[in-house]
Amino acid sequence: MTSRSQPPHPQPPEWCVADGLTEYPTALADMQSRVGAIRAGTARERVWLVEHPPLYTAGTSAKPAELTDPTRFPTFAAGRGGQWTYHGPGQRTAYVMLDLDHSHGSVPAHDIRCFVNGLEQWLIRTLDRFHVKGERREGRVGIWVADPTTGAEAKIGAIGVRVTRWVSWHGIALNIAPDLTHFSGIVPCGLPQYGVTSLAALGIPATIQDADTALRAAWDEVFRDAPQA
């Protein structure tokens, strides 16, 4: 990837919420178009909140054998990093399209590792608002929670990104109240020894709109630049 001379800092990202269920090919095409426009300087950065119909997506490290039920739902090559992921109703997916030629709050320019760390921190702070302790785990991408009774760990938030000429796309998926049996058609993120969970499974009756409010508030704590003096 090559960087360009840094223009003035862009406006804050545009936040958009898609109505209904967004087909995955539509999402890919929209992201690709927006990434090109951001790169060209003709569109603002964007955080796009969607729900998808039930489907599986394969990241660049996905293994065919870890799609254990290939006829259950449609499958798509995502082009992002990572392995197999499920998307479906009751899960909030946030596609994050930022110009990483610029810093964003605690995330410096041209630092993909710190960008991914920022996405993790965004999810952790979002879960804090529901009194859920989300945690990172060494060697495991995403955000994890421990069952308060058994101590067993399960994944509640997935992260998968792609960066094209320093513009990010794809993003995060937070389980609010999806049908967790739908994850059984894949080995989520290539980790068969761990399960998946959701706010609903933890006994928290949150809505997608509640999650959107928490995501928006937590974003400013991680990615918002300090006001100019």
> Where do we find the tokens 């992921």?
85
114 in catalytic set = no
Rounded to an integer, what distance in angstroms lies between the CA atom of residue 84 and that of residue 154? 16
Q: Could you tell me if 56 and 73 are in contact, meaning their C-beta atoms sit under 8 angstroms apart?
A: yes
Q: Could you tell me if 77 and 98 are in contact, meaning their C-beta atoms sit under 8 angstroms apart?
A: no
The beta strand positions in the chain, using DSSP E, are: 14-21, 46-51, 55-58, 75-77, 84-87, 91-97, 135-137, 140-146, 153-164, 167-175, 195-196
Choose, from 189, 199, 214, 215, the residue flagged as catalytic.
189
Point out which residues pair with 186 in neighbouring strands.
67
> Could you give the residue numbers annotated as active site?
189
